[in-house]
Amino acid sequence: MKVAVGSDHAGFELKQKVKEYLAETGIEVEDVGTVSTESVDYPDFAEKVALEVREGRADRGILMCGTGVGVCIAANKLHGIRAALVSDPEIARLSREHNDANVLCLPGRFIEPAAARAVVKTWLETPFAGGRHERRVEKIARLEREESAR
């Protein structure tokens, strides 16, 4: 599995911890930036991660900013991306099982590294359940197609 990771300055330190965890588990990582705690704009990194996932260069993506909200909103603007803001392993599991989330967003300023590790572990290990949930995910895709046609 290959995971694209990105963050703004507020998520940088957590991104480094997440990368360490991914490396420990043998997961290939594509770090799209940022490279420091110097102020940057989160939409730039959300777009980079989302494109890596959408174009198939990464299987999944993980984004971090101060609250996780900004990167989640930005990533969800790209067709085919189902980004979920998660700070709890149970929500991580459900975001994968029910929503087939392909981008995980973490709140860099509001989650401890150990808790983030548990969320990432659960999120990466949980498969999409399909079944009735597949119908719902397809309805999301239909909304994207219809919006593009307007």
In eight-state DSSP terms, residue 11 is G
Total domain count, the chain:
1
For residue 146, how many other CB atoms are within 10 A of its CB? Answer: 9
pLDDT of res. 132 = 96
What pLDDT does residue 131 have? 96
56-77 core/surface letters (b: 16 or more CB in 10 A; e: else): eebebbbbbbbbbebbbbbbbe
Kindly report the number of other CB atoms within 10 A of residue 126's CB atom.
Answer: 16
Out of 72, 79, 98, 105, pick the active-site residue: 98
Domain that holds residue 111: 2-149
Q: How far is CA 87 from CA 58, 98, 139, 145, in A?
A: 22, 17, 26, 30
Which member of 9, 65, 72, 105 is catalytic? Answer: 65
- Within the chain, which residues score under 50 in pLDDT? none
At residue 136, the pLDDT reads 97
Given a contact cutoff of 8 angstroms between Cβ atoms, the answer to whether 70 and 48 are in contact is: no
Q: Which of 52, 121, 114 is closest to 92 using CA atoms?
A: 121
98 is a catalytic site residue: yes
CATH number at residue 15: 3.40.1400.10
